[in-house]
Amino acid sequence: MRVDFYHLQKWPLERALPQILTKVRQAGHRAVILAGSEERVESLSNALWAHDPNSWLANGTAKDGHAADQPIWLTDRPENPNEASVLVVTDSMASDDLRAYERCLDLFDGNDSEAVSTARDRWQKARDEGHELHYWQQTDRGGWEEKAQA
């Protein structure tokens, strides 16, 4: 299984996440976003709905219900109620069941030393479990440059 680590340096998660999820959806995948709290789930959901007035990223949370109908599901628990193939990890969260997905995208704040440290721990664990790893660093323009593979 492939795990991609995204080192946010220029944009906050709320700005980078819609860009990444747009690509996930364009590729025909469903996603689960694992966030650090119920409040963060709601904040990220609102950011996805409001990110671009000319498009939208349909998503839902436990508050909305109908998980099976949601192409993007936001949660603070390890679950996959929409049968997603992509897991998006935020807020230094971790999943013990990466193999339940085809791919994991681990987004972390490069301006937070604790977030960087816990991302390194997740990288090591994923490497020890035999996952294919890719490390992406955000460019000055907000794009992504691959810096490492393992």
The per-residue pLDDT for 27 is: 97
The per-residue pLDDT for 124 is: 97
Structure tokens at 78: 């390890």
Positive or negative, the CA dihedral 120, 61, 49, 101 is positive
Q: Is the CATH number of domain 2-149 3.40.50.10110?
A: yes
Q: What is the DSSP string of 87-148?
A: EEE-TT---S-GGGSSEEEEEEETT-HHHHHHHHHHHHHHHHTT-EEEEEEE-TTS-EEEEE
Round to whole Å and give the CA distance between 73 and 79.
9
Per-residue pLDDT tens listing for the chain (150 residues): 999 999 999 999 999 999 999 999 999 999 999 999 999 999 999 999 988 878 789 999 999 999 999 999 999 999 999 999 999 999 999 998 898 999 999 999 999 999 999 999 999 999 999 999 999 999 999 899 999 999
Round to whole Å and give the CA distance between 15 and 133.
24
What are the residue ranges spanned by the domains of the chain? 2-149
Q: What is the pTM of this model?
A: 0.95
What's the longest Cα–Cα distance across the chain?
43
